[in-house]
Structure formats: C-alpha cells, structure tokens
C-alpha cells in the first residue's frame, strides 16, 4: 500500500484521529488486552480537551491513502513519541514504518540523541524491530483495570 501523503494534522482531523485510535485499539489490541482493559483505554476518547491539546502542543503527523486518514503519530517535546496508531484496514502495509521514519527524521533535525515512548504490549515487537529497548514495564491503573505498557527508548543518530 502506498501512502499518498504524510502531513501535519489540523483541527479538522480530530474526529478522524479519534476514529483511527479507537479502531486500532478495538482490533489490534484484542489479542493482548482484555475487553475491560480495552474499554478503559477507550475512555480517553471522551476527554475532548486531551485531543484539542494534542493538536496544540504536539507535532501530529497523519498518513493518508486516497485522501483518507489511515494512521497518525505525535511527537511531544521534540523526542517523545506520544501517539502512533494505524487503522486496522491498513495495518501491516508499512504505514506505521513510514510514520516512525518521519518522526525519527524530525527528531534528528532537532539534534536530539534519543527518542522514547510508552508502547502497548501489541506495539512492542514493532518498536523492538526498530531498535527500541525496554527501560521499564509500566502498570497504568485505570478504573478497576491495570493496563500494561512499556517505556522504551532508542538512540537516534544525529548525523
């Protein structure tokens, strides 16, 4: 699948970002998280200020195929990958890799030495394949659930 465009997100994309986020979690994460854990995770879509702030405070990149937003990634404070999600209809087609490559290019341009992220159990193998190493396992308490993810880092060559 060829990405037709990677661009910075704008406020009109908010609904599409939430849709991609929700779809990705509902489909890809089901093998690693329980239905109740997914339900708690998806509650973050109801926090409208979080999504507005995302676009104001971070660099948010969207991947488009035929003018449809199929994935997105966000870079916070220059070297923290906060969000990276791909719609289930477009998974395993290189979109996450294209987004990560673009994020890494931005980190390099800022002359940052490393990048970090807190990644799901589901995404951990992808990040390991891209040179990220686990620093610690996180236990995120949400409601009655504990969502596991991993804080990972990767050295970024600045040359």
Parent domain of 61:
5-155
Structural domain tally of the chain?
1
- CATH code at 104? 3.40.630.30
What does pTM read for this prediction? 0.93
Residue with tokens 């998974």: 91
Q: Per residue of the chain (159 residues), what is the pLDDT tens digit?
A: 466 689 999 999 999 999 999 999 999 999 999 999 999 999 999 998 899 899 999 999 999 998 899 999 999 999 999 999 999 999 999 999 999 999 999 999 999 999 999 999 999 999 999 999 999 999 999 888 999 999 999 999 765
Cα separation, 83 vs 76, whole angstroms = 9
């Amino acid at each position: 699948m060829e990405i037709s465009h990677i661009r910075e997100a704008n406020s009109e994309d908010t609904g599409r970002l939430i849709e991609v986020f929700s779809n990705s979690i509902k489909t890809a994460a089901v093998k690693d998280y329980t239905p109740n854990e997914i339900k708690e995770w998806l509650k973050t879509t109801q926090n409208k200020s979080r999504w507005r702030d995302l676009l104001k405070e971070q660099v948010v990149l969207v991947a488009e195929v035929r003018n449809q937003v199929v994935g997105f990634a966000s870079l916070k404070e220059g070297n923290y990958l906060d969000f990276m999600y791909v719609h289930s209809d477009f998974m395993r087609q290189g979109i996450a890799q294209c987004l990560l490559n673009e994020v890494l290019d931005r980190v390099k341009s800022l002359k940052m030495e490393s990048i970090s992220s807190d990644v799901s159990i589901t995404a951990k193998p992808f990040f390991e394949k891209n040179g990220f190493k686990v620093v610690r396992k996180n236990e995120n308490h949400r409601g009655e659930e504990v969502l596991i993810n991993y804080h990972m880092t990767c050295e970024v060559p600045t040359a």
